[in-house]
Amino acid sequence: MSRLVVVSNRIAAMEGKKESAGGLAVGIMDSLKDAGGLWFGWNGNISEEELPLEHHQQDNISFAAFSLKQSEYDQYYLNFSNTVIWPAFHYRLDLVQYQREDYDGYCHVNEKLARRLKPLVKKDDILWIHDYHLLPFAAACRKLGMTNRIGFFLHIPFPTSEIFNALPPRKELLEMLCEYDLIGFQAETDRLAFIENLSLVTDVEELGEDQFSAYGKFVTVRVYPIGVEPDSIRELAEGRLPPKLAHLRDKLNGQLIISVDRLDYSKGLPERFQAYETLLENYPQHRGNIRYFQIAPTSRGDVQAYQDIRHELEMEAGRINGHFSTLEWTPLFYLNQHYERSLLMKIFRHCDVGLVTPLRDGMNLVAKEYVASQNPADPGVLILSRFAGAANELTSALLVNPYDRDGVASALDKALRMPQAERIERYKAMMDVITKNDIVHWRKSFLNDLKAVPHQLEPGQQP
Ligand code: GDG
């Protein structure tokens, strides 16, 4: 039987941590458990010495972790992945800082990782590569003569040609992507953007609805919206609030609004704060009666743009609280901290509105987690950006344009006043989708397809 080999930039350190791990890490672990296999990724360490891979075993899963040199971390991770691809793929060309040497470093690290992985891979293993750090990974494996089936899932959006054309190595990136047997995207718009970009740089022959031949390769391109694990989220959410928080909840009369995001400029945090300010200005009846909690743990703190957004948020939070606070009431709680997953799900359940307004997002799991945490008899309301992949599925949320602060303020007012019957109806419709398209469905459909799609390196199959 073929094993599964997962490659991702970061390897989840999972030992004994199942309860606190995010749904994605658990989903990947479960697929590795099903087939037996190997997880290969960065251990988060930097070392100038070429250290051997760190191996450990848990049940039938092997882990192999590498460290990076400082220059590799800078070029591959900080610069090309997070200061070129991440901003560009989230439509922020203004934040892109491209240097040819970073791109070379990015490709070099991908090639080095493929070389280190190769001795651990058996002929029949299936490889599942994750995310934007590893666009060239299959191409690097093919150069080494690896003939395994290799699939790729992109967790973030894929931009249209107006944006993608601005990337100097756009042709090389697309050609390397065609070395994958299967490419999975979060949304149909991403899939269409990829095909459009590919058609602009080379001849693409359509072999079937989602199968193409380009650069003399077969490639299958499909949509797999990522999901959550609703049962385990409900269990966490139903648990008792820790005494301190329960006490706080009892003290806080009035309604609560919650947002949880990595502190990232793609998540639309300053725009969201301003929309909340507009709510307080235009709907003064809510003053004194509502509180907004924004949890935003620091992320990629060594990238300048992330330091800038943090400063901006601190200023905005201070300004809004300075303007509206009274002796009895603070309108906005900005918490720049990481919280336990089980606590987050409980907080979601106790909040009346989930406010999720990224400017661009591949999917956005927080939106699904907020809904899955709710009490079915008295659920809260989800306000969701149209520009999150999740908006394709959660059409019963209050969908908003995150750039329209009046529109978001009016959705907030509507959510705070929404009758219970309507809240239940919307919640049920969203839970139907969340339950059907859960994380198990996501991983199984991707892996079943990867085993079945045409594979260019099997005898007798020519594009
Ligand atoms: C990328 C794509 C796509 C957040 N703060 C804390 C915490 N979180 C957890 C959330 C959620 C996860 O992190 C964030 O997932 P998102 O999907 O919302 O966003 P990204 O991190 O940008 O993820 C995204 C995703 O990949 C999966 O494909 O949906 O579009 O950008 O699970 O709950 N968890 C804990 N403490 C925190 O303070 N424990």
Could you give the maximum distance between any two Cα atoms of the chain, in Å?
77
Q: Is the CB of 295 under 6 A from ligand 1?
A: yes
For the stretch 97-151, pLDDT in tens is 999 999 999 999 999 999 999 999 999 999 999 999 999 999 999 999 999 999 9
Give the distance (Å) from ligand 1 centre to CA of residue 342: 14
Q: Whose CA is nearest to atom 30 of ligand 1?
A: 362
For the stretch 305-357, pLDDT in tens is 999 999 999 999 999 999 999 999 999 999 999 999 999 999 999 999 999 99
In a domain, 251, yes or no: yes
Q: Is 99 exposed, middle or buried (0-12, 13-18, 19+ CB in 10 A)?
A: middle
pLDDT score of 73: 97
Q: Whose CA is nearest to atom 39 of ligand 1?
A: 341
CATH number at 280 reads 3.40.50.2000
- Ligand 1 atom index nearest CA of 367: 18
Q: Is the CB of 266 under 6 A from ligand 1?
A: no
Kindly state whether residues 302 and 411 are assigned to the same domain. Answer: yes
349, 371 contact by CB (below 8 A): no
Q: Whose CA is nearest to atom 33 of ligand 1?
A: 366
Kindly state whether residues 349 and 448 are assigned to the same domain. Answer: no
For the stretch 368-387, pLDDT in tens is 999 999 999 999 999 999 99
Q: Is the CB of 358 under 6 A from ligand 1?
A: no
Q: Is the CB of 22 under 6 A from ligand 1?
A: yes
Active-site pick, 130, 155, 286, 350? 155
In a domain, 72, yes or no: yes
Q: Is the CB of 155 under 6 A from ligand 1?
A: yes
DSSP code at position 388: B
Kindly state whether residues 210 and 262 are assigned to the same domain. Answer: no
In a domain, 138, yes or no: yes
Give SS3 for 98: coil
Is this prediction's ipTM beyond 0.95? yes
Percent of the chain with pLDDT over 90: 86
Kindly state whether residues 372 and 343 are assigned to the same domain. Answer: yes
Q: Count of CB atoms within 10 A of residue 7's CB? A: 26
For the stretch 51-102, pLDDT in tens is 999 999 988 899 999 999 999 999 999 999 999 999 999 999 999 999 999 9
Kindly state whether residues 219 and 235 are assigned to the same domain. Answer: no
Q: Count of CB atoms within 10 A of residue 375's CB? A: 13
Average pLDDT over residues 17-33: 74
pLDDT at residue 19 tops 80: no
Kindly state whether residues 188 and 250 are assigned to the same domain. Answer: no
Q: Whose CA is nearest to atom 21 of ligand 1?
A: 262
242 pLDDT band, cuts 50/70/90, is confident
Kindly state whether residues 196 and 323 are assigned to the same domain. Answer: no
**How do strand 149-153 and strand 126-130 relate by DSSP bridges?**
parallel
- Ligand 1 atom index nearest CA of 267: 22
In a domain, 463, yes or no: no
pLDDT at residue 16 tops 50: no
pLDDT score of 23: 67
361 is annotated as an active-site residue:
yes
Kindly state whether residues 139 and 187 are assigned to the same domain. Answer: yes
In a domain, 19, yes or no: yes
The helix (H) or strand (E) run that includes residue 175 is: helix 170-177
The helix (H) or strand (E) run that includes residue 126 is: strand 126-130
Percent of the chain with pLDDT over 70: 96
Report how far residue 171's alpha carbon sits from residue 169's, in angstroms, rounded to the nearest whole number. Answer: 6
Higher pLDDT, residue 90 or 302: 90
Which of 229, 262, 266, 438 best tests ligand 1's pocket when mutated (most atoms within 8 Å of CB)? 262
Look over the chain and give the mean of its residue pLDDT values, rounded to a whole number: 94
- Ligand 1 atom index nearest CA of 23: 32
Q: Is the CB of 463 under 6 A from ligand 1?
A: no
Token pair for 452: 């079945």
DSSP tally for the chain: helices H, then strands E: 17, 16
Q: Count of CB atoms within 10 A of residue 271's CB? A: 20
Dihedrals phi, psi of 38, to nearest 5 degrees: -135, 135
Kindly state whether residues 68 and 173 are assigned to the same domain. Answer: yes
Give the distance (Å) from ligand 1 centre to CA of residue 262: 7
In a domain, 461, yes or no: no
- Ligand 1 atom index nearest CA of 24: 27
Q: Whose CA is nearest to atom 20 of ligand 1?
A: 364
Average pLDDT over residues 201-224: 94
Give the distance (Å) from ligand 1 centre to CA of residue 401: 21
DSSP code at position 91: T
DSSP code at position 121: -
Kindly state whether residues 143 and 258 are assigned to the same domain. Answer: no
Q: Is the CB of 68 under 6 A from ligand 1?
A: no
- Residue 446, CA distances (Å) to 63, 154, 201, 323, 451 in order: 22, 12, 27, 50, 9
Higher pLDDT, residue 172 or 252: 172
For the stretch 408-459, pLDDT in tens is 999 999 999 999 999 999 999 999 999 999 999 999 999 999 999 988 766 4
Q: Is the CB of 25 under 6 A from ligand 1?
A: no
Q: Where are the alpha helices (DSSP H) in 99-169?
A: 100-117, 137-143, 161-164
pLDDT score of 18: 53
Which of 4-18, 26-40, 124-138, 246-260: highest mean pLDDT?
Answer: 124-138
- Ligand 1 atom index nearest CA of 22: 32
Which of 14, 19, 365, 438 best tests ligand 1's pocket when mutated (most atoms within 8 Å of CB)? 365
pLDDT score of 17: 54
35 pLDDT band, cuts 50/70/90, is confident
155 is annotated as an active-site residue:
yes
Dihedrals phi, psi of 448, to nearest 5 degrees: -60, -40
pLDDT at residue 20 tops 60: no
- Ligand 1 atom index nearest CA of 226: 28
Q: Which of 244, 434, 228, 234 is nearest to 339 (CA)?
A: 244
Give SS3 for 157: coil
**How do strand 54-58 and strand 61-68 relate by DSSP bridges?**
antiparallel
In a domain, 278, yes or no: yes
Report how far residue 53's alpha carbon sits from residue 41's, in angstroms, rounded to the nearest whole number. Answer: 10
Number of domains in the chain: 2
pTM: 0.96
Which of 82, 363, 385 best tests ligand 1's pocket when mutated (most atoms within 8 Å of CB)? 363
pLDDT score of 26: 80
Kindly state whether residues 146 and 295 are assigned to the same domain. Answer: no
In a domain, 459, yes or no: no
- Domain range for 267 is 230-436
Contacts of 171 (CB under 8 A, 6+ apart): 201, 202
Kindly state whether residues 447 and 397 are assigned to the same domain. Answer: no
Give the distance (Å) from ligand 1 centre to CA of residue 261: 7
pLDDT at residue 15 tops 80: no
Q: Is the CB of 339 under 6 A from ligand 1?
A: yes
